[in-house]
Structure 1
């Protein structure tokens, strides 16, 4: 039990990088500190991240995501294969175990927003709806964070 608490505390501190990010709860599901960043490929895409907690006694599945800012949004997985990194759309919903966490983070599972219609501005928000199998729709706002292109070491 202590390990779960420590793990949850660690994950929360990782995902609380934005002071503007909020938590969103419906039923047993809490979406913690969702944030989005513009893709560094130069295309009109963005990547979204969050920590999702299922506080219930039954597993639930994250089925899909929708947002008015994008033509379509999919749940992606980053895969390393043959020395290369690629992203692919998930074929099956992601399961969140009872009292478990699902972490969507850079380099792993994430939301991919395609053909974003508006310019993403630091400090603003992207509204979206996460669709869960058992807990239904959870309306959230992703805090927009713009990458700092400056290197860490001058």
Structure 2
């Protein structure tokens, strides 16, 4: 019986574990599990996702993102309009309440990396910098993942 329980634990841990990821912290801001997936449209771009936590006592705002691999990176949101789904650039900085979260996930807010200069290979990292109003620049590494490897909660 003990062997079955140990085996079940090991197998569940092996197969149910989310993709390996890292958290990045500066000041009150923690960027949890940043990852990207290459666009399936054939274009040389990628969408990035993460969970951002503001552990401080004051609101902060995400101003922008930059990455050397891309001509430009834009904060996008997916919206439904006239029965169609489209993406649009977020114009205003995104506020993160004290002890609050801002989630970037498929079908919602995401980072759009345009005109990527290098081939995106599964398991490699894309260094980037998130620019915050109060906490300054937070350096992160986005893990390149395929859709089958994508964690349920980035």
Give the 5 Å matches for 1:73-152.
Answer: 73-148=73-148
Which stretches in structure 2 are left out of the alignment for 5+ residues? 1-16, 149-154
For this pair of structures, how many residues does the alignment match? 132
Q: Report how far residue 34 of structure 1 moved.
A: 0.2
Following TM superposition, the consecutive aligned residue runs of length 4 or more in structure 1 with deviations greater than 4 angstroms are: none
TM-score computed with the length of structure 2 as normaliser: 0.84
Q: Secondary structure at the match of 1:58?
A: coil
CA distance in 1, matches of 2:80, 2:136: 32
CA offsets, 1:113-152, max 9 Å, x none?
Answer: 000011111111000000000000000000100234xxxx
Q: Choose 1 or 2 for highest CA Rg.
A: 2
TM-score computed with the length of structure 1 as normaliser: 0.84
Q: Is the Cα contact below 8 Å between 1:55 and 1:99 reproduced in 2?
A: yes
Which stretches in structure 1 are left out of the alignment for 5+ residues? 1-15, 149-154
CA distance in 2, matches of 1:111, 1:48: 5
